[in-house]
């Protein structure tokens, strides 16, 4: 990256950060400030996260089962537990996705030899039903260039985890039914609907190995959330939200 391009992308960082902090969204980045490659988008992510404190986990997912995974960091300050009330002023878009998340109980530091699926599973302390809250620097993040959206932390705005599911290693998620309700009304109901299918091992394997070039390795106490099971649902101020998985359990939150 040249000095001139780095200066432009630093302006991208500041533009996105200002829009998020002031809750005054922009329609799109100026053409010169838009990332031209995934590498540039991820570079912007890595600069943005420094403004939000310690990394508490990673979101990883794929648009289709065969697509290459992508990831984004999740600030620890934006992670909350079941039945929380979200009252921070930055909640504007209030997008919601029901997801399956894993809490790591052991470090997986970056190393030359790839981790096996068994080693990765052995480092997981628990699995949880979760809701990712989507927020954005953009007025409508679904209408901007894909790389602009990726740069903006892939629309990440918060993460809420439910109780641990003790039987998760033996679950067959191909038959898992998921509902997402807002104010008591079911907005989405799907069976085995994650874009990753039942292949969460592939996402976790990629993040622990190929993704380690960005993450520096996974750490105990970090969550990894693995993509939407319900698509995106919107809420408003005052909404009560519940995501229910048929075997994993449920998680709730509300917006003040």
The per-residue pLDDT for range 179-188, each reduced to its tens digit, is: 999 999 999 9
Count of residues for the chain?
256
Nearest to 178 by CA among 241, 233, 248, 232: 248
> Are the C-beta atoms of 187 and 233 separated by less than 8 Å?
yes
| pLDDT score at 66 | 79
CA distance 213 to 208: 9
Residue 168's contacts (CB-CB under 8 Å, 6 or more residues apart) are 126, 127, 248
Q: What is the mean pLDDT of each run of 10 residues along the chain (256 residues)?
A: 92 98 97 98 97 97 85 98 94 97 97 96 96 98 97 98 92 88 97 65 94 97 95 97 96 98
Across the beta sheet with 84-86, the strand order is: 84-86, 249-255, 240-245, 177-182, 185-191
| pLDDT score at 63 | 79
Q: How far is CA 9 from the centre of its chain?
A: 22
| pLDDT score at 194 | 65
| pLDDT score at 223 | 98
The partner residues of 113 in beta bridges, in order of sequence, read none
CA distance 66 to 172: 20
Nearest to 224 by CA among 124, 141, 139: 124
Residue 124's contacts (CB-CB under 8 Å, 6 or more residues apart) are 102, 103, 104, 105
Q: What is the 3-state secondary structure (H, E, C) of the chain?
A: CCHHHHHHHHHHHHHHHHHHHHCCCECCCCHHHCCCCHHHHHHHHHHHHHHHCCEEEEEEECCCCCCCCEEEEEEHHHEEECCEEECCCCCCCCEEEEEEEEEECCCEECCCCCCCHHHHHHHEEEEEEEEEEECCCECCHHHCCHHHHHHCHHHEEEEEECCCCCCHHHCCHHHCEEEEEECCEEEEEEECCCCCCCCHHHHHHHHHCCCHHHHCEECCCCEEEEEECCCCEECCCCCEEEEEECCCEEEEEEEC
Task: Specify the fold of 3-255.
Answer: Fumarylacetoacetate hydrolase; domain 2 (3.90.850)
């Amino acid at each position: 990256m040249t000095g001139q391009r780095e200066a432009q992308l630093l302006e991208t960082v500041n533009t996105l950060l200002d829009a998020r902090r002031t809750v005054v969204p922009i329609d799109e980045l100026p053409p010169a400030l838009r990332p031209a490659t995934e590498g540039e988008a991820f570079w912007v992510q890595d600069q943005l996260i420094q403004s939000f404190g310690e990394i508490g986990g990673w979101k990883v997912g794929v648009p289709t089962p065969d697509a290459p995974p992508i990831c984004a960091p999740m600030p620890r300050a934006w992670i909350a537990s079941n039945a929380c009330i979200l009252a921070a002023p930055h909640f504007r878009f209030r997008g919601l996705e029901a997801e399956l998340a894993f809490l790591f109980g052991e470090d997986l530091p970056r190393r030359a030899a790839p981790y096996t699926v068994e080693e990765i599973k052995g480092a997981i302390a628990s699995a949880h039903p979760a809701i990712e809250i989507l927020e954005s620097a953009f007025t409508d993040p679904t209408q901007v260039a894909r790389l602009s959206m990726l740069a903006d932390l892939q629309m990440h705005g918060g993460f809420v985890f439910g109780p641990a599911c003790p039987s998760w290693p033996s679950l067959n998620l191909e038959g898992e039914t998921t509902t997402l309700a807002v104010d008591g009304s079911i907005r989405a109901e799907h069976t085995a609907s994650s874009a990753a299918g039942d292949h969460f091992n592939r996402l976790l394997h990629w993040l622990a190995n190929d993704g380690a070039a960005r993450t520096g390795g996974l750490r105990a106490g970090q969550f990894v959330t693995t993509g939407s099971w319900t698509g995106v649902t919107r809420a408003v101020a005052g909404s009560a939200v519940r995501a229910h998985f048929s075997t994993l359990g449920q998680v709730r939150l509300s917006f003040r």
